[in-house]
Amino acid sequence: MNTIINDIEIVKTENSKINDVDFDNLKFGSVFSDHMLECNFKDGKWQMPKVIPYSSIALDPSAKIFHYGQSVFEGMKAYKDANDDVFLFRPLDNFNRLNISSKRLAIPELPENYFMEGLKALLKVDDAWIPTNEGSSLYIRPFVFASGQGFHASPADEYKFLICTAPSGSYFSGKVKVLIEETYSRSANGGVGFAKAGGNYAGQFYPTQLAIEKGYQQVIWTDDNAHEYIEEAGAMNIFVRINDTLVTGPTSDRILDGITRKSIIAIAEEKGITVEVRKITVKEVVEAAKSGALKEMFGAGTAAVISPIAGFGYKDEDFDLPELEDTYASYLKKRITDIQTNKSEDPFGWRVKL
């Protein structure tokens, strides 16, 4: 029987898959919860969203997503505490960034209530899918793509906005080694690097495959001009600790304005750590690694949380980072996850209880 939550129609599955899931051994983003949110753009406007059973979708072969890659996405997480209360972290920032991405890709922007109320209704229906194990959470993937038809290279007239969710464990397994890129570029001035456009990730796969063949997990992108400055990694922003100063690059139209990144800056400053937001040259990181001033490097992102980097490669040379006892990365990771999972106060007002 269909029900309504906050004006949103719910069609429940009759075949829940939840009993097939091993919640003690969750990978990242590989099993999907029973339901999804679907919202269609047609006749010039977004239609009411609906929660429906998770299922395949049919698209015309001429749908513009296939030919021109008109698609954007977000990444968020829902956390459940010991009392079974459910929390989101800065969800309006994800909503706003989705629309920033959409605008750049000529995709119609979504109304806030369709996103927020749709997400809340979906999480209510799939509440049992939100893991409680330490280090696990429900990864949320909102995305919008061109479902409208035609080979004309112009924006589609129909779109789909879906939200799917996946109970997930950590993004990386084992030590993370990165390769500082010297040849390929992820983004360029005036391009779409700041948007979470699907094509930004497709363009990274080949250079990342080359890096994986050499024994690294991710590429650290450098500026497209001279490959002189460290920008960000494939799925996370980058921080380096030089002596006791934490440094991260400024955002620009080439770099994703990460929600974890800006939260880390605030948490580090709260702790009294000196934070510099400035351009970081590859040269200074290599020199700091050689002199011993480079204490830590870590990536920050929703999926990756805070992932310490064990070493990096540059121009056929490998540099290992020291294995310190008390790292900024471990402090910052605990502080941010305690806020996200309702284990501590949230002086910043980031946590949203459902």
Residue 39 pairs in a beta bridge with 161
Task: List b or e across 20-35, with b for residues whose CB sees 16 or more CB atoms inside 10 angstroms.
Answer: ebeeeebebbebbbbb
For residue 57, give both structure tokens. 């979708």
For residue 299, give both structure tokens. 């990536």
Question: What contacts 31, CB < 8 A, 6 or more positions away?
Answer: 17, 21, 166, 167
For residue 281, give both structure tokens. 């040259």
The mark string for 5-44 relative to ligand PLP (x by CB under 6 A, - otherwise) is ----------------------------------------
**Judged by CB under 6 A, does residue 198 bind ligand COI?**
no
**Judged by CB under 6 A, does residue 232 bind ligand PLP?**
yes
Which of 91, 108, 198, 301 touches ligand COI by CB under 6 A? 301
Of 147 and 260, CB closest to ligand COI: 260
Say which entry of ligand COI, ligand PLP, none residue 280 contacts (CB below 5 to 8 A, set by partner kind). Answer: none
Element (H, E) at 76: strand 76-80
**Judged by CB under 6 A, does residue 237 bind ligand PLP?**
yes
**Judged by CB under 6 A, does residue 223 bind ligand PLP?**
no
**Judged by CB under 6 A, does residue 235 bind ligand PLP?**
yes
Interface with ligand PLP in residues 302-331 (CB under 6 A): 302
Distance CA 171, CA 215 (A): 17
Interface with ligand COI in residues 67-86 (CB under 6 A): 75
Say which entry of ligand PLP, ligand COI, none residue 70 contacts (CB below 5 to 8 A, set by partner kind). Answer: none
DSSP state of 256: -
The stretch near ligand PLP (CB under 6 A) out of 29-37, 49-57, 59-67, 252-260 is: 252-260
Q: Determine phi and psi for 328, rounding to 5 degrees.
A: -60, -40
Which of 146, 236, 294, 321 touches ligand PLP by CB under 6 A? 236
Of 208 and 222, CB closest to ligand COI: 208
**Judged by CB under 6 A, does residue 303 bind ligand COI?**
yes
Of 136 and 302, CB closest to ligand COI: 302
Which of 302, 307, 337, 340 touches ligand COI by CB under 6 A? 302
Which of 142, 258, 308, 313 touches ligand PLP by CB under 6 A? 258
CB 74 → ligand PLP: shortest distance, Å? 8
Distance CA 122, CA 259 (A): 22
Distance CA 77, CA 142 (A): 11
Distance CA 147, CA 158 (A): 5
323 CB-contact burial (10 Å; exposed 0-12 / middle 13-18 / buried 19+): exposed
Distance CA 257, CA 142 (A): 17
Say which entry of ligand PLP, ligand COI, none residue 232 contacts (CB below 5 to 8 A, set by partner kind). Answer: ligand PLP
CB 13 → ligand COI: shortest distance, Å? 25
Of 197 and 289, CB closest to ligand COI: 197
One-character DSSP codes across 160-220: EEEEEEEEE--S--S-EEEEE-SS--S--TTSSTTS-BHHHHHHHHHHHHHHHHTT-SEEE
Q: Determine phi and psi for 210, rounding to 5 degrees.
A: -65, -40
**Judged by CB under 6 A, does residue 75 bind ligand PLP?**
yes
Tell me how many residues contact ligand COI (CB under 6 A).
6
**Judged by CB under 6 A, does residue 198 bind ligand PLP?**
no
The mark string for 219-248 relative to ligand COI (x by CB under 6 A, - otherwise) is ----------------x-------------
**Residue numbers at the binding site for ligand COI (CB under 6 A):** 75, 201, 235, 301-303
